[in-house]
């Protein structure tokens, strides 16, 4: 079946080569007016002048965009969407001056999510995750990376990844599962009789083969790194050296790390919501990364401890106001480059013929309104692989 998306105020294509966008090219998202888009089944068939497409595809069913902005569905390439209870009490502790490490020492932080997740069944975790991922979807995301990493035992990591697999069946968006058994060394491997090395061995010898055998993850097998989040550790350089698909966080990346990323194929994924929520003044040096020529992606980092937001457009606001990206750079970072950060640059994140028909329709007249009306909910509808995924009444 063919659909003709017509009557958008703007059609933002983000079109370009099927790879991460960097440098000058990355500054242009391409905004078409008087344009239309035709899909056939799961794919985009054509993008071009409205009149020409109407004439060429009289058999296509028209979809009236109602003067809204049509653009690629957002690609959120970094979330920790599988968790139990929210951790709002830590937000207040932080506000009162208690630090991240101190909260962790008190048994809070990531270890409280680990304890909590281990105690829950797969069904419980699914029931908790479903409405949370629906909220993420509601803001225009059509591709969502989701990590395990609050289990930290073979069974609990498999449980988390199975929840992601069941979410993929239940939800109309594309999920990209990441095995993050290396999220943290669990407490039971931090003191005798067990050692950290034993946990690493468990990861490598047991967990990874099992995850691979069951086909439960895309990443963890391919590489994504949490890099230089709070302290400079040379992780960006490492990510570039080993050819990681992305290096994420980067608030504390060094100048050498910036150069290494700019010279590599590794996408620099920035998570400004996290720094906002943590109340930290230091944001990743986004302009330095862009100006050096690195490919920059943005993501929500949705997680219970440091970034419980489902509002990806708000992250675009922060990209402009805190990271000094142009709107075009921010939009590309949340579409094309998000797709590159999950290895899908040839499949989604842009409105080009042959790409997956992953679309978002926002209730604004100008794409620049998306980061502008900050904290608002402007997504009107999304389509994933040509099928309606969301329609706001």
Interface residue list for a copy of itself (CB under 8 A) = 86, 88-89, 91-92, 94-97, 135, 273, 276-279, 281, 308-311, 314, 317, 320-322, 324-327, 366, 368-369, 371-377, 393
Token match 């040509």: residue?
Answer: 386
**Minimal distance, residue 302 CB to a copy of itself, in Å:** 10
Q: Residues 17, 76: contact at Cβ < 8 Å? A: no
Nearest CB to a copy of itself, comparing residues 173 and 227: 173
Find the largest Cα–Cα distance for the chain: 74
Which contacts of 208-214 are long-range, i.e. CB under 8 A and separated by 24 or more positions? Answer: 208/179, 208/181, 210/154, 210/158, 211/157, 211/158, 211/161, 211/179, 211/181, 214/158, 214/161
Cα separation, 351 vs 38, in Å, equals 10
**What is the nearest approach in angstroms of a copy of itself to the Cβ of residue 158?**
28
CB of 279 vs a copy of itself, minimal distance in Å: 4
Give the residue with the Cβ less far from a copy of itself, 265 or 377. 377
Rounded Cα distance, 113 and 131, in Å: 18
Give the up-direction half-sphere exposure of residue 199: CA atoms within 13 A in the CB hemisphere.
Answer: 19
**Residue with smaller CB distance to a copy of itself, 42 or 366:** 366
The DSSP string of 185-220 is --GGGSSTTS-HHHHHHIIIIIIHHHHHHHT--SBT
> Nearer Cβ to a copy of itself, position 91 or 222?
91
Look up residue 322 and give its two tokens: 């805190």
Q: How far is the CB of 307 from a copy of itself (least distance, A)?
A: 8
Which CB sits closer to a copy of itself, 173 or 217?
173
Min dist. Cβ of residue 206 to a copy of itself (A): 36
Report CA 256 to chain centroid distance, whole Å: 25
* DSSP per-residue letters across 345-371: TTTSSS--TTSB--EEEES-SSTTHHH
Using the minimum distance from each CB to a copy of itself, give the nearer residue, 178 or 303: 303
Min dist CB 85 to a copy of itself, Å, is 10
Please, which residue, 184 or 329, has the CB nearer to a copy of itself? Answer: 329
Strands laid side by side in the 74-76 sheet = 74-76, 141-147, 174-178
Return d(Cα 301, Cα 312) in angstroms, integer: 9
Provide the angle, in degrees to the nearest 10, between the axes of the packed helices 154-170 and 122-138. Answer: 50
- Residue 94 to residues 88, 226, 302, 384, Cα–Cα distance (Å): 10, 22, 18, 39
Query: Minimum distance from CB of 364 to a copy of itself (Å)?
Result: 9
* CB 216 to a copy of itself: min, Å: 28
CB of 93 to a copy of itself, least distance (A): 10
Question: Which CB, 112 or 348, lies closer to a copy of itself?
Answer: 112
Q: DSSP character for 230?
A: S
Nearer to a copy of itself, 274 or 337 (CB): 274
Residue closer to a copy of itself, measured from CB, 262 or 310: 310
Tell me the CA distances in angstroms from 305 to 81, 104, 110, 150, 274, one per residue in order: 11, 11, 7, 11, 9
Q: How far is the CB of 95 from a copy of itself (least distance, A)?
A: 5
């Amino acid at each position: 079946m063919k659909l003709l998306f017509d009557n958008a105020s703007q059609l933002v294509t983000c079109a370009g080569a099927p790879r991460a966008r960097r440098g000058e090219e990355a500054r242009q998202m391409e905004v078409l007016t008087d344009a239309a888009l035709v899909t056939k089944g799961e794919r985009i068939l054509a993008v071009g002048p409205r009149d020409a497409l109407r004439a060429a595809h009289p058999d296509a069913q028209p979809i009236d965009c109602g003067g809204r902005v049509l653009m690629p569905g957002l690609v959120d390439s970094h979330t920790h969407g599988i968790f139990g209870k929210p951790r709002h009490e830590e937000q207040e502790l932080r506000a009162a001056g208690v630090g991240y490490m101190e909260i962790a020492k008190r048994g809070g932080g990531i270890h409280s999510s680990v304890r909590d997740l281990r105690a829950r069944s797969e069904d419980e975790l699914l029931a908790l995750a479903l409405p949370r991922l629906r909220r993420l979807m509601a803001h225009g995301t059509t591709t969502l990376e989701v990590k395990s990493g609050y289990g930290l035992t073979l069974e609990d990591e498999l449980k988390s990844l199975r929840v992601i697999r069941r979410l993929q069946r239940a939800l109309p968006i594309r999920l990209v599962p990441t095995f993050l058994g290396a999220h943290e060394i669990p407490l039971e491997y931090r003191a005798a009789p067990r050692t950290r090395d034993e946990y690493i061995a468990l990861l490598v010898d047991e967990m990874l083969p099992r995850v691979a055998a069951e086909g439960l993850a895309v990443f963890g097998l391919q590489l994504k790194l949490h890099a230089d989040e709070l302290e400079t550790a040379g992780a960006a350089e490492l990510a570039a050296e080993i050819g990681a698909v992305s290096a994420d966080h980067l608030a504390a990346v060094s100048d050498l790390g910036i150069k290494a990323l700019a010279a590599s194929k590794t996408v620099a994924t920035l998570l400004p919501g996290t720094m906002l929520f943590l109340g930290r003044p230091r944001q990743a040096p986004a302009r330095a990364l862009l100006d050096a020529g690195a490919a920059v992606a943005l993501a929500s980092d949705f997680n219970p401890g440091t970034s419980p937001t489902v509002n990806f457009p708000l992250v675009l606001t922060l990209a402009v106001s805190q990271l000094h990206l142009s709107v075009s750079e921010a939009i590309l970072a949340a579409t094309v480059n998000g797709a590159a950060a999950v290895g899908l640059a040839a499949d989604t994140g842009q409105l080009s013929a042959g790409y997956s028909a992953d679309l978002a329709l926002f209730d604004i007249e100008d794409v620049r309104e998306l980061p502008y009306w900050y904290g608002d909910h402007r997504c009107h509808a999304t389509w994933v692989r040509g099928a309606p995924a969301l329609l706001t009444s």
